[in-house]
Structure 1
Amino acid sequence: MADEIWIVPFFGQGHLFPSMELCKHLASRNFKTVLVISSKLSSTVPLSLRQYPLVEINEISEAPPLEPSSQPLHSHHEHHSQIALGLKKLLSTRNHDQSSVRPLYAVVDMKMSWTFDIFNRYEVPAVSFFTSGACSAAVEYAMWKAHPLDVKAGETRLLPGLPEEMAITVSDLKRQIRFPTEPPPQTKFGPERHHPTNPGDKPPWVEAIEPCIGVMINTCDELEQPFIEYVSNKLGKPVWGVGPFLPEQYWKSAGSVFYDHKFRTNQKSNVSENEVNKWLDTKPSGSVLYISFGTVVGPSKEEYEMLAEALEASTRSFIWVVRANAGLSTGPSKPSQPDSEPEEAYFPYGLQTRVGNRGLIIRGWAPQLLILSHPSTGGFLSHCGWNSTVEAIGRGVPFLAWPIRGDQHSDAKLITSYLKVGYMISKDVSQTIKKENITRGIEKLLNDQEMKQRAVKLSAKFEHGFPTSSVAALDAFGDFIRHKGRET
């Protein structure tokens, strides 16, 4: 019987997608993998994974709250409570049923690190899984140790142990506090925030992962070798760079257009994947700017309006993915009152009519992998979330980086300073981004053929598929836990 590993993702597609791919990689190494998810995520898991050999989906039923809350903290707390109860029931049943197999190990999303206590109670060792990259973790740790808050204007401060390209400036410190917030609230499930509140603060994840026996990071040596090594040295635990976890067919289809709908659940959108592909087919190679800020964070309302004005004034073709309530609930300005905006407000109003076929505005879900793999796409204006970052790197698309919060700042610096495959939208993203920042950045990016060549050269590291260093790391992880399992 195959050794069994449980995988516990954080809610949200940016965490679920890498966990699903991890299941496949471990199953291919003859581990039975059990993906433990909330029943609310059931529809997001494709049939192909449910039918995958040695993969089991174990859903924890979540009842809707008795009183809907407008406070995210309350909804997260309720979610955690129900997941905790479900995990205890599953583990208790496995413990008392002699025909059941107790998991050999658990791989737990870093944002679910409060579940370590539950697994320890049932003597199941756990590994922490970082779905973001190694650079952000390394920079947060290094800034905590160096605490470079006295950096002066025009000065750069090296972070000991990290590449010189990651040296800190005043602008870097200001970026980290673009949207000042209160310290993270503490709950019985741990801190609700997982990145430092202020530059130089101790990263909350450092203590959170203390009970784990090792760390998996959704990255590879080909992109982040010095940062993986730094994190491993500082934590004193085994650290495996095992990603980036994108669909297997993505890695195998380099040089061709990749269709998202075959591997990701299609969600609500005003444009079909086929319509997006046909629109891109009408544009010259490398001529289209793709703009997407993900599903959780984005610029302020004022900045969305600046972006709309810049795109209208530009002569460049573009695809802009605009999420519901764009500009209404993020950024430094206060959210609009409920009666002052429609429930689902999209910016910009009327832009599609004004720009005609030069632009394609997608409201809702977008086939991002298709867009990034299409030869007409020449640049990516991105918030630099980690999944979006590696998806574009793998297809040789250079960046116009517009980070908003958390690890996005480190990802943006990795892209622009270390890997050198993009530009920052502004020298100081702690300030409101202006129309001229955007128009200048678009032209600079799409006119820079050397930048494009560097991006293509970087993507060539993956021309033979999933990173070779990550294959070796997954093999090493398998050997490690099997050896540890025999010891216990």
Structure 2
Amino acid sequence: MGGATKSILIVPFFGQGHLFPCAELCKHISSYNCNSIFIIPSHLSSSIPSDLHHHPSIEVVRIESSAETPPPDATHGDWPAPGPHHHHQLGQGIESFLSRRFENAQPAFVVMDVMMNWSKHIFKKANIPIVSFFTSGACATAMEYAAWKAHVDDIGPDPARMLPGLPESMALSYSDTRRRDRRRHELGGGRGRGRGRGRGGKGSDGTNLGPPRLGQHTRWMDETEGSTALLINTCDGLESPLLKYLTVQAEMPVFGVGPLLPGTFWKSIGSVVHDRDSRPGRETNYTEDEVIQWLDSKPGSSVIYVSFGSEVGPSMEEYDELAEALVATEKSFVWVIQPGAGRPGPPASLFGERAMSDSKKGGYEPCGLEERVGNRGLIIKGWAPQLSILSHPSTGGFLSHCGWNSTMEAIACGTPILAWPIRGDQFYNAKLVVKYHHVGHMVPGIDDPLEMVKKINIIQGINLLMDDGEVHYRATALRGIFDGGYPSSSAASIKALVELIS
């Protein structure tokens, strides 16, 4: 692009679903005569993809921090970020770094994860333009705003409520308006207990909803106030009408810059992706080669992959129902069980290695399951090579919470999804998968937030997904939008962003 090399700051939120996309964004921005400076708390150093450290145009800056354990009542709502002391310490570290490094020349701009909104004042004080980054997709952001703008509060069982400017398939249903975090009834989150720190808001009784209560002012409007532009981890091929809607409504440029998947994925399209090359390995009971070898022994599209990611999952009782369902289906499966699975509270990965070690105590254990299913099941405890599994031809379906990273990875690999959303934007992501793209199904019975998901629901859902030839065909067809590699529309967006700020 010519001219002097620009410095761009990237500030991610904690957790893999935020760190990984921000790391990939660093690489893409660095392609445009820019040096990317990735600012992270020191306790998250081990979570950074190893190839980031060797990139000639990327600098990883570790700010000393001591993540706090959240207060006891934080388990009764959306888990919070580390507390005020951590924010203060990290904020001081960022300010000190800025004053040392940029005494004479300011960085061109900072890309700030919207979940790091608390740090906005630091960059405003330094007169650094702020670009807000959603590591989630456009769907949740657009629907939250459209529902607020349409003054939607509650609707009856029939018909669904159209939202002006959005696709007809994304109309709000009765269940959308009454959906809550599916864990709340198990956690005892009654009147007034919610903390309201996540993407969701509070209902009239003070409890946190999965999505914000429809018609309620949306948090992202406050989080992005004063920003120069918005970045969203999506592309035209996945969410074009939703991106266009946000571009009209946001009153600032909106750029789709995703999917922010590892470079190894784009180089391996059409074959099995090797996760170990781009993501830091964590403790696990199976190596990536052992997982691929097991999948190699199974027929094509015969394996259901089950994983709820590193941050949320079902209750202990629902895990028991899932285990029994996997026995009863008689289908081959890979089941990833994270440390601390089934326990309330924030993911241990937020709080460093000691917390990760502590999280192994009291998590869900599928006692006797391996003996009951034999070689039909592979139970992974800890880290799993998700892209390797999703891209393998033996994998025929993905039982997922519909976190945005998992959703994009499944779509990019042509793997249909059985949606089991737990909270926040996962409900909207599931709607995008099932209602808009038609590349998956919902777990039957999921619409009632106060009812536990039972064995029979899971069996019905797995059989429906795995036996639906049409949904498999559509998933394969949708994958085709990535045959050319990283989307040209997203590459053009990053270029336009750098030019805009310059």
* Same-fold status (TM-score > 0.5): yes
SS in structure 2 opposite 1:378? strand
Matched, 1:469 2:489: yes
What is the TM-score with the length of structure 1 in the denominator? 0.91
Q: CA deviation at 1:184?
A: 6.2
Q: CA RMSD in A?
A: 2.0
* 1:37-76 to 2 correspondences below 5 Å: 37-63=40-66, 73=80, 75-76=82-83
Of the structure 1 ranges 457-466 and 318-327, higher mean CA displacement relative to structure 2 is found in 318-327
Return the alpha-carbon distance in structure 2 between the equivalents of residues 358 and 91 of structure 1. 54
Paired with 1:59 and 1:84, the residues of 2 have a C-alpha distance of: 12
3-state secondary structure, aligned to 2:128: coil
- Can you give the 5+ residue segments of structure 2 that lack an aligned partner in the other structure? 204-212, 347-358
Question: C-alpha separation between the residues in 2 aligned to 1:26 and 1:151?
Answer: 44
Distance 1:390 1:347 in 2: 29
TM-score (norm. length: structure 2): 0.88
CA distance in 2, matches of 1:402, 1:429: 12
Alignment of 1:21-100 (within 5 A): 21-63=24-66, 73=80, 75-96=82-103, 98=104
1:199-214 → structure 2 map (5 Å cutoff): 199-200=213-214, 201-214=216-229
Judge conservation of contact 1:398–1:445 (CA < 8 Å) in 2. yes
Return the offset for 1:429.
4.6
Shift of 1:145: 2.0
Do the aligned residues in 1 keep the contact of 2:387 with 2:409 (CA within 8 Å)?
yes
1:243 pairs, out of 254, 258, 277, with 258
Equivalent position amino acid for 1:303 in 2: E
Tell me what 2:273 maps to. Answer: 258
TM-aligned CA distance change 1:221 to 1:267, over 3 Å: same
Residue 69 of structure 1 and its aligned partner are, at CA, apart by 6.0
Cα distance in 2 for partners of 1:118, 1:79 equals: 15
1:415 aligned residue: 433
Supply the AA of the counterpart residue of 2:95. K
- The reply on whether 1:105 has 2:125 as its aligned counterpart is no
- Whether 2:273 is the aligned partner of 1:273: answer no
1:116–1:211: 8 Å Cα contact kept in structure 2? no
Report the residue type matching 1:76 in the other structure.
G
Cα distance, 1:468 vs structure 2: 1.5
Q: Distance in 2 between matches of 1:350 and 1:228?
A: 47
- How far does residue 33 in structure 1 lie from its aligned partner after superposition? 0.8
The residue that corresponds to 2:243 in the other structure is 228
Task: Give the corresponding residue for 2:119.
Answer: 115
Return the letter of the residue paired with 2:156.
K
Letter in 1 for 2:163: L
Q: Aligned pair in 2 of structure 1 residues 46, 73: CA closer, same or farther (>3 Å)?
A: closer
Gaps of 5+ in 1: 186-190, 332-340, 483-488
Sequence identity of aligned pairs in percent? 47
CA contact (8 A) 2:9 2:36 kept: yes
Q: 1:161 aligns with which of 160, 165, 179?
A: 165
Post-superposition Cα deviations, 1:316-348, rounded to whole Å, max 9, x if no partner, equal: 0000111223223279xxxxxxxxx98243232
What is the alpha-carbon distance in structure 2 between the residues aligned to residue 403 and residue 64 of structure 1? 28
The one-letter amino acid paired with 2:86 is: H
Partner of 1:485: none
Q: How does 1:375-414 map to 2 (within 5 A)?
A: 375-414=393-432
Q: Deviations over 1:143-168 (max 9, x none)?
A: 22224333112321111111010111
Q: Is the 8 A contact 1:128 1:214 kept in 2?
A: yes
Question: Conserved in 2, the CA contact under 8 Å of 1:27 and 1:53?
Answer: no
- Native 8 Å contact 2:49 2:279 kept in 1: yes
Number of residue pairs matched by the alignment? 464
CA distance in 2, matches of 1:267, 1:360: 18
> Could you tell me which of 127, 135, 153 is aligned with 2:139?
135
Relative to structure 1, the CA distance from residue 73 to residue 14 in structure 2 (aligned partners, 3 Å threshold; closer, same or farther) is closer
**Counterpart of 2:313 in 1: which secondary structure?**
coil
CA shift in 2, pair 1:175/1:69, >3 Å: closer
**2:307 touches 2:336 (CA, 8 Å); kept in 1?**
yes
Please report how far the alpha carbon of residue 457 of structure 1 lies from its aligned counterpart in structure 2 after TM superposition: 0.3
